[in-house]
Amino acid sequence: MAIVRLDKVSKVYGKNKLKVHAVTDVSFEVQEGEFLAIVGPSGSGKTTLLNLIGGIDRPSKGKVYIEDQDITLLSKARRSDLRLKRIGFIFQEYNLIPVLTAVENIELGLLLLGIDKAERRERVNKIIKDVGILELANRRPKEMSGGQQQRVAVARAMVTKPAVILADEPTANLDSNTGISILRLMQEMNHRENITFIFSTHDPMVMEMASRVIILRDGRIESEEKRD
């Protein structure tokens, strides 16, 4: 079973003369355990595509399947439920909740899923060690560097054990060494937990780390490259 499948997906923003064809006729499958990069110039449709896969947005045409479920047919409420349970997100701007500590940010999804306190504690304690932020557990986002915040965001995305983690330019706001270390962390989690990652990037160094690269141009797949 493919974790993600897109079947002739298109997204058009606006109407009439202001129409923007952001994504056009894109089809591909992502298998469990892939570490897939989506690359392409600014405006090529990377964010739009990730938003369609994550059910944040709906395609104008075509189908998006997550674990064989057609998410284009789901109501908004069902899509947010699916996101909570099966999809993790990592953002360029980290998007942690400012008033919560690192641990509280990570725990939030588990609370929303109704997981009991003992299991929440166990999972959070494990993941903060895995991502190397044990000593930052009680800090708030503004008391952490960008790289540290992104580690918290990786932990937050992982802790609910999603089927796939979507990351839109997760290293764009980091210096290149920190960016590489975040990608290494994602790669380690991908290997160790067999979690599927789909991330977009501009950075050739980051692209090198992918197991497969899909290159977008003007909203279409221009080419695809399989590694090792």
Ligand X SMILES: Nc1ncnc2c1ncn2[C@@H]1O[C@H](COP(=O)(O)OP(=O)(O)OP(=O)(O)O)[C@@H](O)[C@H]1O
Q: Is 40 in the site for ligand X (CB under 6 A)?
A: yes
Q: Is 16 among the residues that bind ligand X (CB under 6 A)?
A: no
The listed partner (Mg ion, ligand X, none) that binds 33, CB under 5 to 8 Å by sort, is none
Label residue 159 left, alpha or beta by phi (over 0 means left) and psi (-120 to 50 means alpha): alpha
Q: Is 42 in the site for ligand X (CB under 6 A)?
A: yes
Identify which of residues 46 and 212 has a Cβ nearer to Mg ion in the complex. 46
Question: How far is 220 from 204, CA to CA, in rounded Å?
Answer: 20
When asked if residue 47 is in the footprint of ligand X (CB under 6 A), the reply is yes
Q: What's the closest the beta carbon of residue 146 comes to ligand X, in angstroms?
A: 18
Q: Identify the residue among 5, 9, 34, 45 touching ligand X (CB under 6 A).
A: 45
What's the rounded Cα separation, in Å, for the pair 192 and 226?
21
Candidate list 24, 47, 101, 105; residue touching Mg ion; CB under 5 A: 47
φ/ψ of 165, rounded to 5, equals -115, 130
C-beta neighbour count of 48 within 10 angstroms:
22
Q: Is 138 in the site for ligand X (CB under 6 A)?
A: no
Nearest to 26 by CA among 224, 228, 227, 196: 224
- Which among 107, 98, 109, 6 has a CA at the least distance from the CA of 49? 6
Q: Quick check: 148 binds ligand X (CB under 6 A)?
A: no
The single residue listed with the structure tokens 């109704």 is 114
**33 near ligand X (CB under 6 A):** no
Interface with ligand X, residue 170, by CB under 6 A? no
- Per CB under 5 A, residues contacting Mg ion are 46-47
- Per CB under 6 A, residues contacting ligand X are 13-14, 20, 22, 40, 42-48
